Chains A and B, each alone.
Chain A
Amino acid sequence: MSVSRDDVLRIAQLAELDVEEDALPDVAEQMSRILDYVAQLSAMPASTNGTVKTFVPGPDAIRFRPDEVAPWPLAFGPAAFAPAFKEGFFVVPKLGQFE
């Protein structure tokens, strides 16, 4: 098995993901199987290794759009998602109310 229980915990921490204690053995086993399976990529002929460029589809050059400031209308106005909104303003607690 290529992935240990501790590996899973370390990776889960990097991924900001809780993995339950009793699920750990299963997760480690399945990750190992997947990683062992994809490890066949290391069988890539040595002659091509390092000389091959990587490939990403899509336009050859990044297109830019004009840098214009334009209103970006919200689908819902702030009134729809603000906790309190009145006559065009967000309603917030008075400053003096904070400790």
Chain B
Amino acid sequence: MSDAKAVADRLVKSKRLNALLTPSKELRSALTAQAAAARPTGVLYGMPVAVKDNICTLEFTTTCGSRILEGYRSPYEATAVTKLKAAGALIAGKTNCDEFAMGSSTEHSAYGRVVHPLDKTRVPGGSSGGSAALVGAGALPAALGSETGGSVRQPASFCGVVGIKPTYGRVSRYGLVAFGSSLDQIGVLGRSVHDAARVLSVISGRDPRDATCEDRDPLRLPTVPESLQGFVIGLPREYFPAELDPAVRRACDRAVRLLRDLGAAVREVSLPHTAYAVPTYYVIAPAEASSNLARYDGVRYGPRFDGHADLRGLYRATRGQGFGAEVRRRILVGTYVLSAGFYDAYYRRAQQMRALIAQDFRNVFDRGVDLLFTPTTPSPAFKAGEKLSDPIAMYMSDIFTVTANLAGVPAISLPIGRVKGLPIGGQLIGQAFLEDEMLEAAYALERVVPATDEA
């Protein structure tokens, strides 16, 4: 199959990015076998789609970028992957990511950092950095990622590609390795809004194997609208702070002018609890992670690190050596905030704040606003190593993305300009299960925005 060979060649050529964890030889034979078996009637027939390494596949190992799952082969595959295959897509290997999707730069992988496709001194964002870098380098039209706090949109923004986080419950989480179960959602990175959207429409829809997946039909894709007449787009003032990178602000101003030119009514709105979103997230996500990651004990999955006399010693040695620094830190923070005496001060308060943040969104949407437009990240891609020693600085790069995860609403990032050659992303946030409206606006904006021009 020459198509499979061409796909493999393009991916192998991007090796310098360290974005793909699947060895070249294995990738070639898997692609050839899949191409021979793919149904020609599928809507994604022949389309290569790489899959983030925290999504289970039968063809390849699933390591979550961690030593604790080195060489692990899942006995089942994710529903999203099954649906992709049924639509004729070729699963083009597993992409590198921050360990267990914890990170914003793809520097926290046990298999080495991923390199930004346009500037090797910078990070591609994270945690779906491998997927974003491959799509950004032109090696693939689309790839699956996962989101807990912005892990699709933030790297999409850094790498100049489109990233969609669907509504919580739109896509089955069956086979997505759990990090923060009330926040996790599989998302899509694509070369264009349409590439990402058509993959999303294939993987969306009900799944009896995931009780949190809504009983709904797959997403129907909208057509590209002539204008955005009738759309009301809100600009939340908390997302345009004084310290916002000036180039990001210029690119956003230009995109807003274009949205107005398309006929949309644009008005300023307020989401007053935005300032609490990052602290809320960094209580809830580690709390859920500390519980979800309790299963990695050296007995049930992956390698074990012995040298201890008893079972608990085995657990502690395996977990202490198998997890990287960031994962260990989050497990410890999560355990701390859930422990007796601290639960009310941290976890309960964070749950309450999450309700207020979700209410902020309902309030603006109830007042006739259809969509929100914001920058995706406060700055373009940063230098490798720049934020490694300062976890809070790293966490702040998710400041404009975590709110959509906390509220469970859909959001999309698309390229809206560049600064010194580095891409800048703009974000549209929609109402729950109204991805079609969000995509309509994204289609319209994508057609007119000078995505590769300096802002």
Contacts and interface: CB of A to CB of B under 8 A. Distances in A.
A37 B396 CA distance: 11
Interface in A23-52: 27, 30-31, 33-35, 37-42, 44, 48-49, 52
Contacts of A62: 211
A59 interface: yes
Contacts of A16: 294, 297, 312, 315-316, 319
A31 B329 contact: yes
Contacts of B337: 35, 38
A30 B297 CA distance: 24
Contacts of B328: 17, 19, 27
Given A38-B279, A49-B352, A58-B169, 16 more contacts: A3-B336, A14-B335, A15-B335, A16-B312, A17-B323, A17-B332, A18-B316, A19-B320, A27-B328, A31-B333, A37-B392, A38-B337, A41-B280, A44-B353, A54-B354, A57-B358
B382 interface: no
A74 B75 contact: yes
Given A74-B75, A76-B75, A20 B320 contact: yes
A16 to B, nearest CB: 5
A86 interface: no
A95 interface: no
21 contacts: A3-B336, A12-B332, A16-B294, A16-B319, A17-B319, A18-B321, A27-B328, A30-B329, A33-B391, A34-B333, A35-B346, A39-B345, A39-B346, A41-B349, A48-B352, A49-B352, A52-B356, A54-B355, A55-B354, A58-B408, A63-B215
B27 interface: no
A62 B231 CA distance: 34
A3 B353 CA distance: 24
A75 B392 CA distance: 42
B70 interface: no
Nearest to A74: B75
A94 interface: no
B212 interface: yes
Given A34-B333, A35-B333, A53-B355, A18 B319 contact: yes
Nearest to B283: A38
B168 interface: yes
A15 to B, nearest CB: 4
A8 B329 CA distance: 10
Nearest to B389: A30
B58 A75 contact: yes
Contact of B282 (A11, A34, A56, A74): A34
Given A41-B276, A74-B75, A75-B58, A58 B182 contact: yes
Interface string A48-90: 1100111111110011010000000011100000000000000
Pick the 10 closest A-B CB pairs, nearest first: A57-B408, A18-B320, A55-B355, A54-B351, A75-B75, A57-B168, A52-B352, A38-B279, A15-B335, A18-B316
Contacts of A7: 336
Nearest to B335: A15
Contacts of A74: 75
Contacts of A44: 276, 349, 352-353
Contacts of A15: 290, 319, 331-332, 335
Given A38-B346, A41-B283, A58-B212, A30 B391 contact: yes
Contacts of B358: 55, 57
Contacts of B77: 75
Interface in B169-203: 169, 182
A54 B276 CA distance: 15
